Chain A
Amino acid sequence: MARSAKTKAAASAAPQIPNRERPAEPKRYKATKDELLQFYREMLLIRRFEERAGQLYGLGLIGGFCHLYIGQEAVAVGLQSAMTVGKDSVITGYRDHGHMLAYGIDPKVIMAELTGRAAGISKGKGGSMHMFSVEHGFYGGHGIVGAQVSLGTGLALKHKYSEDGGVCLTYFGDGAVNQGQVYESFNMAQLWDLPVIYAIENNKYAMGTSIERSSSEPLLYKRGESFRIPGIQVDGMDVLAVRGAAEVALEWTRAGKGPIIIEFLTYRYRGHSMSDPAKYRSREEVQDYREHHDPIDRVSKELEAMGVKEEELKAIDKEIKDIVVEAAKFAEEAPEPDPGELHTDVLVETY
């Protein structure tokens, strides 16, 4: 497989291709009322789940690092809604709760992992940053910045190798884009036409360092240019724009045209992690995003414009609240792992 890709590249290497094919300009997704209600429900679930996680952290029930996804909900919901469970694969970094929720993974087992309980999705052994669901094609949950980009490219290699028609959706942030392995992966992905969507969640701050202070080319969708990987920039606070971009990216990758980069302009309302005082940005900036660019507010207004009654939205709010309360209760009451679990899962086989 790699060979044929190489031959093709070599044949056309001498003269530069002037106008190589580009993906179509993405359009805002035309969601039905039911679809939009579903997006609303999922984004609200992430928001409420994360608020509760923040609260449980303050109560001492969650330990270590805990990176909340509040503000960025539209990205995961818009993208995950376009993926096919059982066919595609997904991988992300440590800010991973939202992606799992958007993929329909049970909030109870996610929250129980956050509290380090046996019922958690990693049996309590992974924690907030290290959650996986092979069943859903969700490959983590990775704690080292940028690592998931190479891993995701490898998952794409698997899809191509086994001709299963799948695409790997690889999420990373504006911090990870400066890691060297990202570019090593870009090169191979394009060289071998791997079906991978590089979804850059640009929330403007890599921990405390703004994009302008860390990146010589802050237009991150252009980062694939010298590898011939096309890039698109999208409003990541608009779930329909995100979904629209997902359609274009999936069409591109499923057609065997190789990788694509989509940069989502988004924003996290909370600090990088629970112990980040977030002094590197102004309170006004955060407030502006909350008040004028909130992805959930935006959808609720569109729903109202579509004729959805306030009571209906309230009913959803209640439903979501109950789910989150139940998940928190489950996560608080579930027992800790059996001490014997300390030694399990280190190796698969016995020697």
Chain B
Amino acid sequence: MATELKMPALSPTMEEGTLAKWLVKEGDDVKSGDILAEIETDKATMEFEAVDEGKIAKILVPEGTDGVKVGQPIALLAADGEAVSDAPAAPGKAEEPAAQAPQPAEQKEEATPTPHVFETAARDLVADVANTVDEPEVLEGTPLVSTTVREALRDAMAEEMRKDDRVFVMGEEVAQYQGAYKVTQGLLDEFGPRRVIDTPITEYGFAGLGSGAAMGGLRPIVEFMTFNFAMQAIDHIINSAAKTNYMSGGQMRCPIVFRGPNGAAARVGAQHSQNYGPWYASVPGLIVIAPYSASDAKGLLKAAIRSEDPVVFLENELLYGQHFDVPQMDDYVLPIGKARIVRPGKDVTIVSYSIGVGVALEAAQELMGQGINAEVIDLRTLRPLDKATVLESLKRTNRMIVVEEGWPTCSISSEIIAIAMTEGFDDLDAPVLRVTNVDVPLPYAANLEKLALIKASDVVEAAKAVCYR
């Protein structure tokens, strides 16, 4: 009669969690909506609510247990004995939520399938990233610390805020909520509400306020919960921030950083899944950065905050939780506008940026097994684009493909192909190919999403094609 309560999947990326606290004990009666336990996911502490009604018969996993796998039974719920078996339609009182009560056999069956994390092609992208190693550019002997991209971004902001009182952060849920994606975690505690400012949901307004504050001499970091919402604010990013210096004949600057996650996440549908890299990279007056690794995220965000120019800093939600080595240095700042060869090779150049780098590196590993030694370039900055590094690599490999988690038309890959055509034509032994998302709004259904996003296997195929293999 007892129903197993299983460790739930409480976030899209959760595989296991910590059972932080039980809020019920054995023998307690629970009904739908009661909070049974607090569970720490990879993102936050979540409350686990009862769906079924009954009595907690046994607690199988004590509180404080780490690494409880999603789907593992954590407690046994006994149905309310007689009342349940006699009256399967409803429990005692009419106003008590009744529908989820664990009752008839056929319903119990379906109430207890094993929880699992939902299907999404995003997981393959993350797996590609996790499979790769990033070696940051530092002097030998510098200690490296494994850091998530999320922490690296936070550290960059905190360090610059300590150094310069003009720097402040503004955006939705950046302060008290500790960041919608926890990137600003802890900043409010350290810097207080004067410098870590929660805004209403009013992107156009606060992008304009930030731009004005920058014109007036402050150094705002404006966080967009995602760049999808920045479309509400794009007028200020382009017409106000990007063009001011030029229009004023160099009198008035707008040193601001617009940052936030960009690109596809996990099954969030068409309106929340878009790569704006090509959009912003087409605008003179803007700096556009889209890092891959945690060390680049840190070093380039620090550089962005210090820049006298407006910077669009495109992060990636799927990368936030990924660990990379970050050099332990007092002031790790990287140059804007410099690409990086993340994997040297000689047979074909794979150019990418942001999460596409992980896919390219995964493909490079596979290609190595097939006798093709691929060089992988991370553009890191999309504007100004480091043509020299790309062309120099092309000169050595004579073959190139571009990998972009975004649409193909009028894209960064279009631009790279144009550069190869106009400035590297004599070095090309094959046409440049590109691997991009399919040219449709991103679908929600798991199978269609998988078809729409870039895959390492497609990169392998493209690389073989340009090598005529």
Contact = CB atoms under 8 A, between A and B. Distances in A.
Contacts of A178: 200-202, 205
A130 B269 contact: yes
Interface string B160-204: 000000000000110011001000000000000000001011111
Nearest to B173: A208
B45 A176 contact: no
Nearest to B117: A60
A130 B46 contact: no
A346 B266 contact: no
Nearest to B265: A64
B226 to A, nearest CB: 10
Contacts of B10: 58, 274-275
Given A130-B444, A325-B107, A64 B12 contact: yes
With most chain A CB atoms within 10 A of its CB, the pick from B176, B201, B451 is B201
Contact of A342 (B203, B269, B448): B448
A116 B89 contact: no
A278 interface: yes
Contacts of A47: 97
A51 B94 CA distance: 17
Given A58-B8, A209-B173, A175 B201 contact: yes
Contacts of A58: 8-10, 115
Nearest to B204: A180
A125 interface: yes
B270 interface: yes
Contacts, number: 227
A51 B51 contact: yes
With most chain B CB atoms within 10 A of its CB, the pick from A301, A310, A315, A342 is A342
Contacts of B203: 179
Contacts of B41: 275
A154 interface: no
B444 A64 contact: yes
A329 to B, nearest CB: 7
Interface string A39-74: 000000001100110110111111111000000000
A179 B202 contact: yes
A36 interface: no
Interface string A273-309: 0110111100100000010001011001100100000
Interface string B220-247: 0000000011011000000000000000
Interface stretch (B356-364, B397-405, B435-443): B435-443
B33 A176 contact: no
B33 to A, nearest CB: 7
Interface stretch (A14-22, A244-252, A253-261, A316-324): A316-324
Interface residues of A, number: 81
A342 B452 contact: yes
A72 to B, nearest CB: 15
A60 B98 contact: no
A51 B268 contact: no
A101 B272 CA distance: 24
Contact of A320 (B99, B117, B446): B99
B95 A342 contact: no
A60 B451 contact: no
Interface stretch (A140-148, A158-166, A222-230): A140-148
Contact of B445 (A54, A278, A336): A336
A124 B447 CA distance: 10
Contact of A127 (B116, B265, B444): B444
A206 B204 CA distance: 17
Contacts of B95: 294, 296-297, 300-301
B414 interface: no
Contact of B12 (A63, A122, A215, A324): A63
B53 to A, nearest CB: 12
A26 interface: no
A175 B265 CA distance: 23
Contacts of A346: 439-441
B443 A342 contact: yes
Contacts of A341: 443, 445, 448
Interface in B259-282: 265-272
Contacts of B232: 144, 146, 179-181
A342 B201 contact: no
Interface in B49-63: 49, 51
A3 interface: no
Contacts of B99: 48, 51-52, 317, 320-321, 324-325
A207 B97 contact: no
Contacts of A130: 269-271, 444
B267 A318 contact: no
Nearest to A290: B33
Given A116-B267, A127-B267, A321-B89, 6 more contacts: A146-B201, A209-B200, A213-B198, A275-B41, A339-B448, A343-B438
